[in-house]
């Protein structure tokens, strides 16, 4: 039995009754980087975060590619190299999310961040996640499993973090595979060892699961307050991790829209941009998959076509000033990335689309009119879902 100190709580982790092999590695409660532990200056709301990373290893030195293969099977990756990559991704994710809550911060240097993120615990587990329910099937019908979050959260006392420390987000780095990966070999890779997870997954005692998932209200433990688990693939990067947050925004904002108006038109048709049939159109603010100048999925850098859009002066009635927008609009912005030579950041342009898109959502003191009222600060739904929903807050404030 091993005792691990987490804040003021001592957690007992039961070890194998047999002697530990030399290559087995116990979970580690990491020292938290000061940047991750410090919310953005001037933030209005704070989100405490737990970061977990499941890095399966067979030899104690390298990632076990039988359980977490690379997309193209590029060979072994050392744990040291992978942890270093994830450490960098974490900082980029935090920067992108905080910067994204500064309403039109790309042109207003005094805009304050609505949200500051503070990592309160960082846990590295050198195992594959425990096997949970079947989530999907491979092409040959073989089941593929989701992680067992109940076992994970019971082992690490996540109830304490949520109920006592106010944790609202859990970022989980994991490695998985699909049967369409070029490297997939059924002779080498056992589906029962792989994991398939949702990009975002909410547990809420108030509303149930409002997320980019199948919205199963039993796959996560339910605690006293709402929290969201973000499934982040360590074979990808910061860009895909924030992409997941984008889809969670779409889920919660359209739900709030539905509660207030009985439909999701304000968010999807007026903000994102859809026609009456629900087909995507250019010229409004776009969404996670599409900047305003394209209707092609994931077209962040390919289409140079300039399209008139009101994204920088968005109003529900489309009366705002139109500007010509394409990839250069957000790709050329000089965001203050927290590292030297930001121009060399992989997927930087895609990443800057996510920041720019989030900055154009109605934020703090947005003053965007709607009939005889105005838009609320939409970031409150991310910052405190329970308070926003229980107070009947909508995307639009009560009429003046």
Average of pLDDT values for 336-343?
Answer: 94
Average of pLDDT values for 171-182?
Answer: 72
pLDDT tens digits for 89-136?
999 999 999 999 999 999 999 999 999 999 999 999 999 999 888 877
User: Residue 133's pLDDT is what?
Assistant: 86
User: Residue 196's pLDDT is what?
Assistant: 78
Computed over every residue of the chain, the mean pLDDT equals 90
Confidence of residue 11 (pLDDT cuts 50, 70, 90): very low
pTM value > 0.85: yes
Residue 348 has pLDDT above 90, yes or no: yes
User: Residue 64's pLDDT is what?
Assistant: 86
Residue 363 has pLDDT above 70, yes or no: yes
Average of pLDDT values for 150-156?
Answer: 98
pLDDT tens digits for 269-306?
999 999 999 999 999 999 999 999 999 999 999 889 99
Confidence of residue 144 (pLDDT cuts 50, 70, 90): confident
User: Residue 12's pLDDT is what?
Assistant: 34
pLDDT tens digits for 235-258?
899 999 999 999 999 999 999 999
Tokens representing 341 are 């030579």
Q: Where are the domains of the chain?
A: 23-249, 262-390
Confidence of residue 4 (pLDDT cuts 50, 70, 90): very low
Residue 398 has pLDDT above 90, yes or no: no
pLDDT tens digits for 25-82?
899 999 999 999 999 999 999 999 999 999 999 999 999 887 776 665 556 789 999 9
SS (H, E, C) the chain: CEEEEECCEEEEECCCCCCCCCCCCCCEECCCCHHHHCCCCCCCEEEEEEEEEECCCCCCCECCCCCCCCCCCCCCCEHHHHHHHHHHHHHHHHHHHHHHCECCCCCCCCCCECEEEEEEEEEEECCCCCEEEEEEECCCCCEEEEECHHHHHHHCCHHHHHHHHCCCEEEEEECCCCCCCCCCCCCCCCHHHCECCCCEEEECCCCCCCCCCCCCCCCCCCCCCCEEEEEEECCCCHHHHHHHHHHHHHHHHHHHHHHHHCCCHHHHHHHHHECCCCCECCCCCCECCECCCCCCCCCCCCCCCCEEECHHHCCCCCCCCCEEECHHHHHCCCCCCCCCCHHHCCCHHHHHHHHHHHHCCCCCCCCCEECCEEECCCCHHHHCHHHHHHCCCCCECCCC
- CA 135 to CA 208: how far, in whole Å? 19
Residue 179 has pLDDT above 50, yes or no: yes
Q: Taking Cα atoms as reference points, which of 44, 89, 37 lies closest to residue 241?
A: 89
């Amino acid at each position: 039995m091993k005792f691990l100190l987490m804040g003021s709580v001592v957690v007992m982790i039961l070890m194998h009754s047999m002697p530990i092999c030399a290559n087995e590695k116990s979970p580690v409660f990491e020292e938290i980087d000061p940047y991750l532990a410090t919310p953005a200056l001037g933030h209005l709301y704070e989100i405490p975060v737990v970061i977990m990373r499941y890095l399966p290893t067979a030899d104690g030195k390298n990632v076990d590619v039988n359980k977490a293969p690379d997309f193209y099977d590029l060979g072994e990756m050392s744990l040291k190299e992978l942890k270093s990559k994830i450490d960098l991704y974490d900082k980029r994710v935090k920067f992108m999310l905080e910067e994204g809550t500064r309403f039109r911060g790309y042109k207003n240097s005094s805009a304050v961040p609505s949200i500051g993120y503070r990592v309160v615990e960082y846990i590295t587990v050198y195992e594959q996640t425990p096997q949970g329910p079947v989530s999907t099937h491979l092409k040959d019908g073989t089941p593929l499993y989701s992680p067992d979050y109940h076992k994970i959260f019971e082992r690490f006392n996540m109830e304490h973090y949520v109920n006592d420390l106010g944790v609202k987000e859990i970022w989980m780095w994991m490695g998985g595979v699909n049967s369409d990966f070029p490297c997939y070999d059924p002779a080498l890779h056992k589906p029962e060892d792989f994991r398939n997870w949702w990009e975002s997954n909410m547990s809420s005692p108030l509303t149930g699961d409002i997320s980019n998932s199948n919205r199963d209200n039993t796959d996560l433990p339910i605690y006293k307050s709402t929290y969201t688990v973000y499934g982040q693939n360590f074979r990808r990067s910061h860009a895909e991790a924030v992409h997941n947050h984008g889809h969670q925004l779409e889920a919660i904002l359209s739900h709030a829209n539905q509660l207030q108006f009985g439909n999701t038109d304000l968010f999807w048709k007026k903000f994102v941009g859809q026609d009456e049939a629900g087909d995507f159109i250019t010229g409004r603010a776009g969404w996670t998959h599409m900047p305003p100048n394209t209707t092609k999925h994931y077209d962040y850098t390919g289409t140079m076509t300039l399209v008139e859009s009101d994204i920088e002066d968005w109003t529900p009635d489309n009366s705002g000033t139109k500007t010509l927008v394409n990839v250069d609009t957000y790709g050329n912005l000089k965001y203050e990335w927290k590292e030297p030579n930001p121009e060399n950041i992989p997927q930087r342009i895609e990443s800057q689309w996510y920041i720019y898109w989030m900055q154009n959502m109605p934020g703090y003191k947005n003053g965007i009119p709607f009939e005889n009222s105005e838009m609320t600060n939409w970031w409150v739904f991310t910052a405190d879902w329970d308070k926003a929903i229980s107070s009947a807050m909508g995307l639009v404030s009560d009429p003046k």
